[in-house]
């Protein structure tokens, strides 16, 4: 028979053992997510609901440039700190996968036709969870003052080359931003590469500036500092509808729709938690939240498109060859710099 002291001693040893294990257990119940989405309220709702459903906490690193986060993942390859790269166009994930920096995973939450529609990678390197389209937009209070009383708002890509828009355009630099590169690649697919470079040169001649940080584009047009811009439709609607700014928008024909995806960083601290997070991104809750808060287009057909936007099926889109765009990204960016003098 054990004495009371022996029993207490055994209990104390057991308690100490549990305490020594507690930090390791806690560390496992967290996923680290790298993201560029500039919507803290959306991220908060998604992380709170994910934690509620799984018990796993979410820690975000939010940086407003996709290329910066991709470079960070590369720099951390020997000791990855992220579990999930949550927000980037597909070509960025493909480039990371090519370098062996991602862990393939096909989520069971995906619809059967997700791969066929281009919403998920057949190898599982990335999982799409929302879409955005590029769009032309202008400041309604400044447009006629800056362009002319009889000027008509641009309706097509080619309209942006008209003489009245000289020095009146702003867009993102394709060397540093996802939307800038998508806009550049769109012209390649729309016109063919030879004619596209002529277009790029003429567009640059009409441009006031190419911003190194993508979100500045919307801010400049909002403030009326530049009357016309090209950017993601979702961000434009966030300003127009969400903040009641004097903006109007046009989704031009032969447009690009970019699938924004998430991937699992190879060697991350919590691979099982990362899989659960990817699964959650495909849910109706997440995609409805993204549509309502950030004006992103859902890929889940049960969720309505954002207010003020056409559905994906209503858009006239160019045939965007993602494999070609990924393979030629570095070359196109360098040539863009040479052609535009940027």
**Shared-domain flag, residues 148 and 229:** yes
Q: Say if residue 22's pLDDT is above 60.
A: no
What integer is the mean pLDDT of 243-262? Answer: 94
- The answer to whether residues 278 and 127 touch, using CB atoms and an 8 Å cutoff, is yes
Q: In angstroms, rounded to a whole number, what is the distance separating the alpha carbons of residues 8 and 33?
A: 44
pLDDT digit string (tens) for 138-150?
999 999 999 998 9
CATH of the domain at 51: 3.40.190.10
pLDDT digit string (tens) for 150-183?
999 999 999 999 999 999 999 999 998 888 999 9
How sure is the predictor about 37, in pLDDT bands with cuts at 50, 70 and 90?
A: confident
**Shared-domain flag, residues 224 and 100:** no
Q: What does the pLDDT read at residue 306?
A: 94
Radius of gyration over every alpha carbon of the chain, rounded to an integer in angstroms: 23
What integer is the mean pLDDT of 95-115? Answer: 93
**Shared-domain flag, residues 76 and 221:** no
**Shared-domain flag, residues 239 and 172:** yes
What integer is the mean pLDDT of 177-192? Answer: 94
Q: Say if residue 66's pLDDT is above 90.
A: no
Q: Report yes or no on 176 lying in a domain.
A: yes
Q: What does the pLDDT read at residue 165?
A: 97
What integer is the mean pLDDT of 114-129? Answer: 94
Regarding predicted confidence, which is higher, 330 or 67? Answer: 330
Q: In angstroms, rounded to a whole number, what is the distance separating the alpha carbons of residues 317 and 256?
A: 6
Domain that holds residue 143: 133-256+326-340
Q: Say if residue 27's pLDDT is above 70.
A: no
Tell me the pLDDT of the chain averaged across its residues.
89
Domain count, the chain: 2
Provide the whole-model pTM: 0.79
Which of 42-51, 64-73, 266-275 has the least mean pLDDT?
64-73
Q: Please name which of 321, 324, 332, 327 lies closest in space to residue 118, comparing C-alpha atoms.
A: 321
């Amino acid at each position: 028979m054990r004495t009371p002291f022996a029993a207490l001693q055994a209990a104390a040893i057991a308690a100490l053992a549990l305490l020594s294990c507690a930090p390791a257990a806690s560390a496992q119940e967290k996923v680290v997510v790298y993201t560029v989405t500039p919507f803290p309220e959306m991220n908060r709702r998604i992380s709170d609901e994910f934690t509620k459903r799984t018990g796993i906490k979410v820690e975000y690193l939010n940086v407003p440039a996709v290329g910066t986060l991709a470079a960070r993942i590369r720099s951390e390859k020997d000791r990855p700190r992220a579990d999930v790269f949550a927000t980037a166009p597909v070509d960025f994930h493909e480039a990371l996968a090519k370098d062996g920096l991602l862990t393939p995973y096909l989520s069971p939450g995906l619809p059967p036709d997700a791969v066929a529609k281009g919403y998920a990678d057949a190898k599982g390197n990335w999982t799409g969870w929302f879409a955005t389209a590029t769009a032309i937009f202008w400041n309604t209070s400044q447009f006629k003052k800056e362009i002319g009383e009889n000027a008509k708002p641009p309706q097509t890509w080619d309209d942006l080359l008209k003489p009245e828009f000289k020095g009146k355009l702003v867009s993102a630099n394709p060397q540093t931003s996802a939307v800038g590169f998508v806009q550049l690649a769109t012209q390649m697919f729309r016109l063919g590469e030879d004619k596209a470079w002529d277009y790029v040169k003429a567009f640059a001649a009409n441009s006031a500036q190419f911003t190194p940080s993508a979100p500045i584009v919307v801010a400049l047009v909002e403030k009326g500092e530049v009357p016309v811009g090209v950017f993601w439709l979702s961000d434009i609607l966030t300003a127009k509808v969400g903040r009641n700014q004097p903006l109007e928008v046009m989704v031009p024909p032969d447009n690009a729709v970019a699938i924004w995806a998430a991937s699992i960083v190879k060697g991350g601290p919590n691979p099982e938690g990362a899989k659960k997070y990817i699964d959650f991104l495909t849910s109706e809750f997440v995609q409805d939240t993204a549509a309502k808060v950030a004006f992103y287009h859902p890929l889940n057909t049960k969720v309505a498109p954002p207010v003020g936007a056409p559905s994906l099926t209503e858009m006239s889109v160019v045939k965007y060859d993602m494999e070609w765009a990924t393979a030629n990204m570095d070359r196109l960016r360098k040539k863009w710099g040479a052609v535009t003098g940027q």
